[in-house]
Structure 1
Amino acid sequence: MTRLMVFLTLFMSGFVVAQDEIYTGYFSNKALDGYDTVAYFTDNKPVEGKPDFVTTYKGADWYFVSQQHLDMFVAEPEKYAPQYGGYCAWAISAKNDFASADPKDWAVVDGKLYLNYNDDIKRKWDQNRALHIKQADENWPALIRP
């Protein structure tokens, strides 16, 4: 069996070797689909960033609406970056697995940003945020190990 066949067999079976620490999707390098992570804290809503204000952090491109937001992020990226690399907080908690997240399904809890897959999943996560955060905090370190 050729290497390509082995790779395709493993890929098609759902076997995943590793996930990036920051969720960017398959065809992009944009963290949060290009939404400004600082805006969740300053504007209390998701706001799309602009290509004029971009930085790279943990291998992903982060977009911002202004130089001020970019500077705030660069000064304290851990303060503004979403928990669990921007993957779905409920999936990390309940499934101990990765799932994409929608930047429009979000919450800031105790000064930390959490994203979820969609409205329905966010409602499940909202039913017991504290438990889901505790479980995800326990699951996350093992998920991102190479």
Structure 2
Amino acid sequence: MFDNRLKSSLIAALLALPLPAFAQDWALSGYDPVAYVTQEKAVSGRAEIVTNWRGREYHFASEANRALFEANPRAYTPGFDGLCVVALTEGRSEPGDPRQFVTIGQRVYFVGSANRKQELLSHPRDMLMKAKDMWLKIKP
């Protein structure tokens, strides 16, 4: 049985630990949403350059990118809220990997792996139509 001082010390120690990445509500795992569009690559955002949109915290590599996002967030957020397009076509809701993305038209889409990226690129129009059908059934 723990005494009260030991319990208090244990609780204080646990509260002092940083939250794991999955417990933080960082959109796109901290990657800069604007960089996907402007630089065509996944770029880590900086913790001190942040904005909140629709209940999620977005990080940016620069103040200029944050300003672009704040002016038009929908232009920079990934399609299907970042879910894997290929998984959606298979009837599943799985998060995409923010390092594995495809730009189709002017929209960025995430997939779960390099193989799934190739699969999406082989039939982009058909896969996006199937993914959209599933998305309309499950979206919040």
- Scaled to the shorter chain, the TM-score interval is 0.7 to 0.9
Q: 2:29 aligns with which of 29, 33, 36?
A: 33
**2:53 corresponds to 1:60:** no
Q: CA RMSD in A?
A: 1.3
State the 1:83 CA deviation: 0.4
State the 1:126 CA deviation: 1.5
State the 1:26 CA deviation: 4.1
- Residue-pair matches, total: 120
Q: Distance in 1 between matches of 2:71 and 2:52?
A: 13
Q: Distance in 1 between matches of 2:113 and 2:103?
A: 16
Residue 129 of structure 1 aligns with which residue? Answer: 124
Q: Distance in 1 between matches of 2:40 and 2:67?
A: 18
Q: Within 5 Å, give how 1:94-133 maps onto structure 2.
A: 94-133=89-128
Q: Distance in 1 between matches of 2:38 and 2:65?
A: 9
**What amino acid maps onto 1:98 in structure 2?**
S
Q: Residue deviations 1:114-136, cap 9 Å, x none?
A: 00011112122221011111111
Q: Distance in 2 between matches of 1:58 and 1:105?
A: 23
Higher helix share: 2
- Unaligned 5+ residue runs, structure 1? 1-24
**2:47 corresponds to 1:51:** yes
**What amino acid maps onto 1:89 in structure 2?**
V
For the residue of structure 1 that corresponds to 2:69, the secondary structure is helix
Q: Distance in 1 between matches of 2:67 and 2:79?
A: 20
CA contact (8 A) 1:102 1:118 kept: yes
Query: Normalized against structure 2, the TM-score is what?
Result: 0.80
Whose RCO is larger (CA < 8 A, sep 6+)? 1
Gap change, CA 1:95 and 1:26, over 3 Å in 2:
farther
Equivalent pairs: percent with the same residue?
26
Residue 142 of structure 1 aligns with which residue? Answer: 137
CA contact (8 A) 1:97 1:143 kept: no
**Between Structure 1 and Structure 2, whose CA radius of gyration is higher?**
2
Q: Distance in 1 between matches of 2:127 and 2:115?
A: 15
Q: Distance in 1 between matches of 2:52 and 2:131?
A: 25
